[in-house]
Amino acid sequence: MKYKLMAIDVDGTLVNDSGELTELTRVALLRAQEEFGIRLIIASGRPLAGLRGIAQELQLERYSGYLMPFNGGEVYNCRLANPIAQASLGSETIASLYDLAQEHGLNILTYTSEDEIISECIDDPYLQLEVGITGMKPRQVVDFVAANPSSRPKCLIVGPSERIEALEPIAQERLAGRVNVFRSHPSFLELVPWGVHKASSISQLVDRLGYTAEELIAVGDSFNDLEMIQYAGLGVAMANAKEAIKSCAEYVTLSNNEDGIAHLLNKYIFTPREDVPYTIEEINSIVPGTLMDSLGIRCTAISRGYVEGTMPVDKRTRQPMGILHGGANLAFAETMAGLGSVALLEEGEIQVGMQVSGNHISSAIEGDMMRAEARIMHQGRSTHLWSVEIYSLKSGKLIHTARILNSILKRR
């Protein structure tokens, strides 16, 4: 596969306008990691505390993913639970940034290692907007400069969008060579160490991991994503991105409110599979009155050597205590493998189940939905061996694994 890494912005890209990581996007990213070995880099202007929840939802510790808070000012290895690179603004620079904000009548804030946002004015509605995005606690200080005697990863000047827009070129000229200045939001002026941006940190990480830029997909929507989109082998803009960002991207996916990340993965990562003689509708039309019907099993995707399906956890498939019955998983797995073998049969052949073995990895409770993925491991003249993995759609956890051996016979 050409692509091995994927760098994704958060606000306006990974999450929707309500700040939510949708189930469709989350499951797609878990599949990209689990099935296709894609390593994720979550690159955002947010502080580290504002990214930890996303790391948990996407299981970045399990899949050796990375967080890049502060627009690349820090690179955090999720498996090691430790930063591997950091850059910061010195106390003298912070004092200069404070003076700049004061001159223009705007509020300035920064972040502490105790997951706090500190500012002289914490009632500022624009500061509260950042609090809502990051989930960090605000702490008011009397003297901003005195409260920052050592280095900080980033400062943020906040205020009305028109005043922030007017300040941006002034700040860029005044701070050139010392501080990188750019907007990540109409009301946020980002202030990070000179030379620090998402692309520079991603480039260093790509080199460190032994990959190339051509193996990277980068996705974003705003000006702080521009360099990484231009750097990547496949630079992608969201449909909701600024026009200047779209013009630099190789591909424009759907918006963040339309699961644009999932759409992108379907197009570039989840490769097309060879068709089979039956449609999903035809397969599901024969379900009524069968065990599949009794358990609520439905086929959702099928191609040569690959089958997907769903099964609910409800009164038909649960144990008396409300958790999924292991026998239902075995029936689900054998059904998916059986459908897969039928799609591979030559004229005059039939298939019958020969051996089933399974492992119960985790549990699921009533109200969940199971998703099975069946892949052929061996296609011989007389046998088909299938591997089936069953996941929870709610948690993304692996629930069950199975091996199914089907016998291929001549019809008599």
Task: Please check the confidence at residue 94 and state whether its pLDDT lies above 80.
Answer: yes
Last-in-domain residue among 171, 193, 215? 193
Shared domain check, 405 and 297: yes
> By the 8 A CB rule, do 29 and 39 touch?
no
Query: What CATH number is attached to the domain comprising 177?
Result: 3.30.1240.10
Residue 71: inside a domain, yes or no? yes
Shared domain check, 135 and 34: no
Last-in-domain residue among 154, 176, 193? 193
Phi, psi of 14 (to 5 degrees): -75, -40
Interval 222-260: pLDDT, tens: 989 999 999 999 999 999 998 889 989 988 899 999 999
Residue 237: inside a domain, yes or no? yes
Residue 274: inside a domain, yes or no? no
pLDDT mean across residues, the chain: 93
Amino acid 194: pLDDT? 93
Interval 319-345: pLDDT, tens: 999 999 999 999 999 999 999 999 999
The 10 Å Cβ neighbour count of residue 205 is 23
Strands of 105-163, DSSP E? 107-111, 116-119, 137-140, 155-158
Residue 149: inside a domain, yes or no? yes
Query: What's the rounded Cα separation, in Å, for the pair 223 and 244?
Result: 8
Shared domain check, 187 and 103: yes
% of the chain beyond a pLDDT of 70: 98
Shared domain check, 306 and 218: no
Strands of 102-187, DSSP E? 107-111, 116-119, 137-140, 155-158, 179-185
Shared domain check, 170 and 235: no
Count of structural domains within the chain:
3
Interval 104-136: pLDDT, tens: 999 999 998 888 999 999 999 999 999 998 889
Task: Please check the confidence at residue 272 and state whether its pLDDT lies above 60.
Answer: no
Residue 275: inside a domain, yes or no? no
Shared domain check, 206 and 82: yes
Shared domain check, 286 and 233: no
What is the pLDDT averaged over residues 289-295? 96
Residue 156: inside a domain, yes or no? yes
Between the alpha carbon of residue 243 and those of residues 23, 64, 158, 247, the distances in Å are 28, 33, 23, 6
Domain carrying residue 348: 280-410
The 10 Å Cβ neighbour count of residue 309 is 26
Amino acid 278: pLDDT? 83
Is 334 an annotated catalytic residue? yes
Rg (CA), the chain: 26
What is the pLDDT averaged over residues 354-367? 94
Last-in-domain residue among 229, 248, 269? 269
Amino acid 280: pLDDT? 87
Closest by alpha carbon to 152, among 202, 191, 197? 191
Amino acid 303: pLDDT? 86
Shared domain check, 44 and 65: yes
Between the alpha carbon of residue 346 and those of residues 197, 367, 378, 384, the distances in Å are 57, 40, 16, 13
Shared domain check, 368 and 305: yes
Residue of 215, 334, 373, 389 marked catalytic: 334
Interval 23-38: pLDDT, tens: 999 999 999 999 889 9
Shared domain check, 202 and 187: no
Band the pLDDT of 405: cuts 50, 70, 90: very high
